[in-house]
């Protein structure tokens, strides 16, 4: 027999490594046979090459040693009794948890706080998404919102004109019905048998409001409740206030000077309803007070208009059709007034979260952007906690090689080891989840108080919550348990153990560092967020408004105080603490009239403007700084009828000149409110420095002040005394002397400004709390890690000390790596934080500029906190007696 030509032996050896034994013989045989054939046909080189390619291709799942099908064929493999094994997993998991107390505490603390934060934020977000879901017709109800068009009317607002609703219903068959509501902004005096109170929160509403929204009645008939003008529907709250336990429906109550019949009482409104009111008056009542001409206006943008569509699909097609309709009917009227607008249809379920850009909106609004931001923060915190678990488990892997080795020797398969480590993660996460749930139950009332919500949390009551909690538990177990389980189960019994002892920096080191970097990047991001929000809120509250908002009090004039306001003012000025006072309409932080002014020369133009109706003392009382010309003065008789004071912005917008001085003496005209068709003609006598009359979200616009006693119905007073309660007492006394029948209804200007930034203030508080949590969890994580790495390098440190390294050297050695990680984190977080916060600041017309110090400060804070945590371990290690470390080796 001729000696056989076989393929290169290393190829067969290679095949030997990965090919399962039961298949090896036939595959080898085939390869050799093929090789003979190719050798004879194509030569040695080519045959070897083809053989090599074949060998490589046999490296595939069906012909690979560890493939599942092969394992099944292995007669030595019998699965363990699963019940016993699972019991064993739990025993081991419990013992491990108990033995590594420090480690377990770090994990538990992190996961518990992470889960608490996440659950609370989740509950809050879920609640926010529930708004207006309960209306039967909710999917067909839309609100009309207006978007200004053109340079002079930028911005969006929630108000619409009274004409649009009926007009659309008539024109478009898709519109089934329309509902107009008008908010009663003035407080109404209710009087029932001597009990009198000022009530806010009322609307004029059309009778079909109960078809649009589900408002359950306690008594009365919703179908007829608002059909006639002398009826009122009140809340259960009001009914009990005035009538006690008596039946309210049918009673006659005095509102203002009119007797009105209570036609129905509705239950407390759902906390998920975007509207909030205590009483509803029939729309007919309003129509009787206003001329028909005004009710057909397309300009008067003070109504909330809702449409009930015939089907849910027509929203978007209808919106497009509306464009032409608005241009045809609205624009002729509005362009005459110097502005124009288009409208959008807003599904009622989106009103709550998607209206934060709207002005003039009385709905209960959330902020979608803030909500999403908060959800991200919750996720970040949970992730930081999961990373702690991953890092600590994999770092301790080396310690558990013996355990894994023994398990493998007695026959554990990889699958079982993975199960075991997943059980350990599962136990930790489940314990954390239970504790977190208990904590949430305790914390929730505080959150409710803070947010003004009434969120309930009872997993046993609400199966949805239970399901979500279980899903959250599973996800957290997977997030934190899967990777360590694979690393730990992959430890080999003999070979790798030696390796890992020689080289303590195991394979997971790079990933671990990466995770630490991401933890700190997230923490730094949160710190940057908090710093910027805090600075902006501070800026909002402390920025120079152009006048001193402290010690300013204002109140509306009623009855006799209104009729003789000169006397009223004199009486109030007699009070010791009042420095000056002014009768006016238009107080910063309060309602400001939007109107327009006319520039007669060189060509006649009408431009939008804020109009302040004031008296001679207004500029002085408010403390505006006059930068050109003069304020109003009694010395000039023409000031009352022919003078205007404007702000700096007006000089630019009205194109009155390059400097404030240029504007003095320019002509200005204004359409009188009190007498139709009468123009007030006058000249600019002074320019004041720009002052903020509204929140800093809004830009300062053209502002014109003039003396117009007929439009003034408020009084503003500057208090000089520091004893505010005393002055208020005296003011109440003075007020009562006038016998108006109304109580004194006063407000502080600084409080109104403070209330404008409530949302931002809450955001900064929440962010602050969550950031603290995030940093705490991340720090305690690296505390654990550094403890571990010190332990690993114990002998090394000992030897270094013996060789003469100083304490400082050792600390430097140990701290350096964390320093680098945090610097990397800072480098990642800075651009992201800059981008995110820049976007957030776009919301404000007046805002801080981001400066490098914020970012450096955030980095420094993190470095210091992390440095302190790490150095506790490091200093302890550096100070040890080297003998202790080396003696054992």
Partner 1 sequence: MKGTHLGEFEELVLLATGILTDEAYAVKIAEEIHSHTNRTVSLSPVHSALYRLEKKGFVKSELGGATNVRGGRRKRIYTMTSDGREMLDRIRFIRNNLWNLLPEIS
Residues that bind partner 1 (CB under 8 A): 1, 4, 6, 23, 25-34, 36-37, 50, 53-54, 57-58, 60, 62-63, 69
724: number of Cβ within 10 Å: 13
CB of 341 to partner 1, least distance (A): 59
CB of 56 to partner 1, least distance (A): 8
CB of 342 to partner 1, least distance (A): 53
C-beta closer to partner 1: residue 36 or 726: 36
Distance CA 621, CA 779 (A): 54
C-beta closer to partner 1: residue 36 or 580: 36
788: number of Cβ within 10 Å: 19
Helix residue ranges, H only, 74-208? 82-99, 101-128, 164-171
Cis previous bond, 834, omega within 30: no
CB of 15 to partner 1, least distance (A): 10
822: which 2 tokens?
């945090």
Angle 440-442-447 (CA atoms, 0-180°, nearest 5)? 70
Where b means 16+ CB within 10 Å and e means fewer, 470-509 reads eebbeebbbbbbebbbebbbebeeeebbeebeeeeebebe
C-beta closer to partner 1: residue 30 or 247: 30
662: which 2 tokens?
């240029």
Measure Cα distances from 782 to 391, 428, 860 in Å: 9, 19, 17
Helix (H) or strand (E) holding 629: strand 626-629
Residues 580/621, Cβ–Cβ less than 8 Å: yes
Distance CA 308, CA 138 (A): 9
Distance of CA 403 to the CA centre of its chain: 48
Q: Are strands 747-748 and 643-647 parallel, antiparallel or unpaired?
A: unpaired
759: which 2 tokens?
């949302």
Angle 516-520-525 (CA atoms, 0-180°, nearest 5)? 150
619: number of Cβ within 10 Å: 23
Catalogue the E-assigned strands of 653-728: 667-671, 679-688, 703-707, 714-719
CB of 7 to partner 1, least distance (A): 9
Helix (H) or strand (E) holding 599: strand 593-599
C-beta closer to partner 1: residue 36 or 237: 36
CB of 42 to partner 1, least distance (A): 13
- Rg for the chain, CA atoms, rounded: 38
Residues 39/5, Cβ–Cβ less than 8 Å: yes
C-beta closer to partner 1: residue 37 or 636: 37
**What is the distance in angstroms between the CA of the first residue and the CA of the last residue of the chain?**
63
Distance of CA 699 to the CA centre of its chain: 23
CB of 79 to partner 1, least distance (A): 21
CB of 23 to partner 1, least distance (A): 8
C-beta closer to partner 1: residue 55 or 422: 55
Catalogue the E-assigned strands of 335-468: 340-347, 358-359
C-beta closer to partner 1: residue 73 or 827: 73
CB of 78 to partner 1, least distance (A): 22
For the chain, what percentages of helix, strand and coil (3-state, to nearest 5) are there?
A: 55, 15, 30
**How many C-alpha atoms does 357 have within 13 Å on its Cβ side?**
14
Residues 264/222, Cβ–Cβ less than 8 Å: yes
Instruction: With H, G, I as helix, E, B as strand and everything else as coil, classify residue 667.
Output: strand
Q: What are phi and psi of 80, to 5 degrees?
A: -75, 160
**How many C-alpha atoms does 542 have within 13 Å on its Cβ side?**
7
C-beta closer to partner 1: residue 40 or 872: 40
Q: Are strands 605-614 and 703-707 parallel, antiparallel or unpaired?
A: parallel
**Helix 101-128, helix 463-489: angle, nearest 10:** 140
**How many C-alpha atoms does 381 have within 13 Å on its Cβ side?**
32
Nearest to residue 586, comparing CAs of 554, 627, 544, 550? 554
CB of 805 to partner 1, least distance (A): 58
DSSP 608-628: EEEEEEE-TTHHHHHTPPEEE
Phi-psi category of 629—alpha, beta or left, where left has phi over 0 and alpha has psi -120 to 50?
left
Distance CA 349, CA 134 (A): 9
Q: Are strands 643-647 and 679-688 parallel, antiparallel or unpaired?
A: parallel
172: number of Cβ within 10 Å: 17
CB of 16 to partner 1, least distance (A): 13
């Amino acid at each position: 027999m001729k000696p056989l030509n076989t393929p290169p032996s290393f190829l067969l050896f290679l095949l030997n490594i990965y090919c399962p034994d039961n298949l090896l013989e036939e595959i080898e045989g085939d390869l050799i046979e093929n090789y003979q054939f190719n050798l004879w046909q194509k030569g040695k080189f080519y045959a070897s090459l083809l053989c090599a390619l074949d060998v490589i291709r046999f490296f595939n799942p069906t012909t690979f040693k560890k493939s599942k099908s092969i394992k099944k064929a292995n007669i030595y493999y019998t699965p363990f009794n699963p019940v016993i094994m699972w019991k064993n997993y739990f025993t081991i998991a419990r013992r491990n948890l108990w033995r590594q107390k420090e480690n377990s505490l770090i994990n538990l603390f992190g996961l518990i706080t992470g889960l608490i934060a996440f659950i609370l934020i989740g509950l809050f977000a879920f609640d926010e998404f529930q708004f207006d879901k309960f209306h039967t017709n909710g999917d067909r109800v839309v609100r009309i919102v207006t978007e200004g068009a053109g340079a002079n009317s930028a911005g969006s607002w929630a108000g619409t004109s009274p004409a649009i609703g009926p007009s659309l219903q008539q024109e478009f068959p898709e519109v089934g019905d329309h509902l107009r509501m008008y908010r009663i902004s003035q407080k109404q005096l209710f009087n029932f048998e001597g009990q009198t109170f000022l009530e806010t929160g009322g609307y004029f509403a059309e009778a079909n409001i109960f078809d649009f929204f589900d408002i359950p009645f306690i008594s009365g008939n919703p179908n007829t409740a608002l059909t006639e003008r002398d009826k009122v529907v009140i809340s259960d709250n009001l009914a009990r206030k005035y009538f006690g336990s008596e039946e309210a429906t049918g009673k006659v109550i005095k509102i203002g000077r009119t007797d009105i019949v209570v036609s129905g009482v509705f239950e407390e409104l759902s906390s998920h309803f975007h509207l909030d009111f205590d009483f509803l008056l029939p729309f007919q009542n309003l129509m009787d007070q206003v001329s028909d001409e005004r009710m057909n206006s397309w300009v008067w943008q003070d109504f909330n208009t809702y449409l009930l569509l015939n089907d849910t699909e027509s929203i978007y097609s209808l919106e497009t059709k509306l464009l032409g309709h608005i241009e045809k009917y609205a624009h002729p009227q509005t362009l005459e007034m110097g502005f124009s607008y288009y409208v959008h249809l807003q599904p009622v379920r989106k009103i709550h979260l998607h209206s934060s850009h709207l002005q003039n909106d009385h709905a209960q609004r959330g902020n979608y952007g803030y909500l999403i931001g908060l959800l991200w923060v919750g996720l970040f915190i949970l992730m930081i906690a999961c990373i702690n678990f991953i890092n600590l488990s994999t770092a301790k892997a080396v310690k558990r090689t013996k355990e894994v080795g023994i398990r493998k020797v007695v026959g554990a398969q990889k699958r079982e080891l993975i199960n075991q480590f997943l059980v350990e993660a599962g136990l930790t996460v489940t314990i954390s989840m239970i504790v977190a749930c208990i904590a949430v139950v305790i914390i929730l009332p505080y959150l409710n108080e803070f947010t003004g919500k009434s969120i309930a949390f009872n997993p046993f009551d609400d199966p949805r919550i239970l399901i979500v909690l279980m899903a959250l538990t599973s996800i957290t177990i997977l997030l934190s348990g899967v990777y360590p389980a694979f690393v730990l189960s992959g430890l080999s019994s003999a070979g790798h153990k030696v390796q890992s002892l020689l080289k303590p920096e195991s394979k997971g080191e790079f990933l671990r560092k990466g995770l630490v970097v991401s933890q700190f990047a997230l923490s730094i991001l949160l710190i940057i967020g908090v710093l910027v929000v805090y600075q902006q809120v501070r800026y909002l509250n402390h920025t120079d408004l152009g006048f001193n908002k402290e010690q300013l009090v204002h109140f509306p004039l009623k009855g006799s105080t209104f009729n003789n306001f000169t006397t009223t003012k004199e009486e109030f000025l007699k009070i010791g603490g009042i420095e000056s006072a002014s009768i006016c309409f238009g107080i910063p932080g309060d309602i400001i009239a939007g109107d327009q002014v006319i520039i007669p020369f060189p060509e006649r133009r009408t431009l939008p403007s804020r109009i302040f109706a004031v008296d001679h003392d207004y500029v002085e009382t408010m403390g505006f700084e006059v930068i050109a010309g003069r304020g109003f003065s009694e010395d000039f008789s023409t000031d009352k009828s022919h003078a205007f004071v404007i702000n700096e912005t007006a000089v630019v917008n009205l194109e009155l000149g390059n400097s404030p001085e240029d504007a003095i003496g320019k002509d200005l005209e204004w359409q009188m409110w009190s007498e139709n068709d009468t123009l007030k003609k006058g000249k600019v006598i002074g320019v004041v420095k720009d002052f903020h009359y509204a929140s800093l979200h809004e830009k300062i616009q053209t502002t014109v002040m003039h003396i117009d006693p007929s439009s003034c119905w408020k009084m503003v007073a500057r208090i000089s005394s520091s004893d505010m309660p005393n002055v208020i007492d005296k003011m109440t006394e003075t007020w009562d002397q006038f016998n108006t029948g109304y109580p004194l209804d006063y407000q502080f200007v600084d409080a109104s400004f403070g209330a404008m930034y409530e949302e931002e203030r809450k955001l900064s508080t929440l962010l602050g709390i969550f950031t603290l949590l995030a940093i705490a969890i991340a720090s305690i994580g690296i505390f654990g890690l550094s403890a571990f790495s010190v332990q690993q390098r114990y002998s090394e440190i000992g030897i270094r000390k013996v060789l003469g390294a100083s304490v400082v050297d050792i600390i430097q050695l140990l701290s350096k790596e964390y320093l680098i990680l945090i610097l990397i984190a800072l480098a990642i977080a800075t651009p992201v934080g800059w981008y995110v916060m820049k976007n957030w600041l776009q919301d404000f017309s007046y805002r801080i500029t981001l400066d490098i110090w914020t970012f450096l400060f955030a980095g420094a804070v993190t470095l210091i906190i992390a440095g302190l945590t790490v150095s506790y371990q490091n200093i302890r290690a550096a100070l040890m007696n080297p003998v202790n470390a080396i003696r054992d080796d």
